[in-house]
Amino acid sequence: MAVIENVSLAPYSAFRTGGTCRYFWQPESIEEIARELPQLAGIPFYLLGAGSNSLLSDTPWPGMVMQFDKLATCEPTDTGFLCGAGVANSQLAEKARDRWLAGAAWMYRLPGQLGATIRMNARCYGGEISQCVDQVTTVTPQGQIKIYTVSPDDPTPVFRGYKDTIFMQNGEIVVQAHIQLQPGPLAPIEALMERIEHDRTGKGHFDFPTCGCVFKNDYAPEVSVSSGLLLEMAGSKSMKTPHARVSEKHGNFIFNHNNASSEEILTLSLDMREAVWQEFGVWLAYEMELMGEFPAALLARFREERPPQHKKSRLAEARARFKV
């Protein structure tokens, strides 16, 4: 087990923020994870993929970060690919295109790694990872290797709907998955990838360090409008701090504009959520995840829950705008 001490985490964070961790481990095999995990003897650990959905604390963190860059094999199978947790989403889409396999093009230019993408059931451009995974291998915190067969008939499904999976609750580490794809004509695969490239770059997704959408969408029938639009209508696009600001093109994206700290980004996000609450009575759920230690007052605000107090006429206005 090769562990490095006192590693700076900012290069592993899509926001390019974050302090150091005491121990940093990039496991090279599933067996290594299963063998070493029980030896950690109570050392707290965090899992980190490409850090594109995470905000890492500024203060040094006394625990271990397990990062998956070295678990990135992507082997062709008869029906798809057998992938390690560290395979980049976009790379998987490219490999599928090269074999004329349909079903993975939506992952093109989706930041992040497969392990975290499965954990949160990521989705975009009409695709969702639940639609193309037929087997997931995990390691439990106790070091047990488990294999899940994904089936729509499963009474206790792995994927539980919009950005929700059992792995978000049970703390198991996604270490490998089989991606099941279908032979398809090349032209529509390439067309979708081109559309995504155009759309994401046009919307400025890669202009500054960011973790993408800070908040999930709220699909309650009384809301049913993207959180980006609610945020925009609540004035988020003009919200900023000295070093971070909301994207002018997307009300749900925070950009690290000029060496922002994670604390600054968290504070800005809390103010965005408050603005939507005041305007619409909708309490947005965070998609962005926190890793490490944050000041207690900020954490308390982050964890606060409020039952909805929907402002129906304002939400109707938003829905009307959403449909146009």
Ligand X SMILES: Cc1cc2nc3c(=O)[nH]c(=O)nc-3n(C[C@H](O)[C@H](O)[C@H](O)COP(=O)(O)OP(=O)(O)OC[C@H]3O[C@@H](n4cnc5c(N)ncnc54)[C@H](O)[C@@H]3O)c2cc1C
For binding to ligand X (CB under 6 A), which residues are involved? 14, 46-54, 68, 85, 110-113, 115-117, 119-120, 122-124, 167, 173-174, 205, 210-212, 289
CB of 142 to ligand X, least distance (A): 15
- Cα(44)–Cα(97) distance, rounded to whole angstroms? 40
Q: Which is nearer to ligand X, 100 or 219 (CB)?
A: 219
Joined together, the tokens standing for residue 122 give: 């990521």
- Cα(211)–Cα(53) distance, rounded to whole angstroms? 5
Strands (E), the chain: 3-8, 20-25, 45-48, 54-56, 61-67, 74-76, 80-84, 101-102, 123-124, 127-128, 133-139, 145-149, 173-180, 182-183, 244-246, 254-256, 289-291
Q: Which is nearer to ligand X, 233 or 288 (CB)?
A: 288
SS3 263: helix
CB of 282 to ligand X, least distance (A): 20
Strand-pair category, 182-183 with 101-102: antiparallel
CB of 207 to ligand X, least distance (A): 9
- Cα(191)–Cα(211) distance, rounded to whole angstroms? 26
CB of 13 to ligand X, least distance (A): 8
CB of 314 to ligand X, least distance (A): 26
Q: Which is nearer to ligand X, 102 or 168 (CB)?
A: 168
Cβ atoms within 10 Å of 64's Cβ, excluding its own: 17
Q: Which is nearer to ligand X, 209 or 281 (CB)?
A: 209
Q: Which is nearer to ligand X, 61 or 277 (CB)?
A: 61
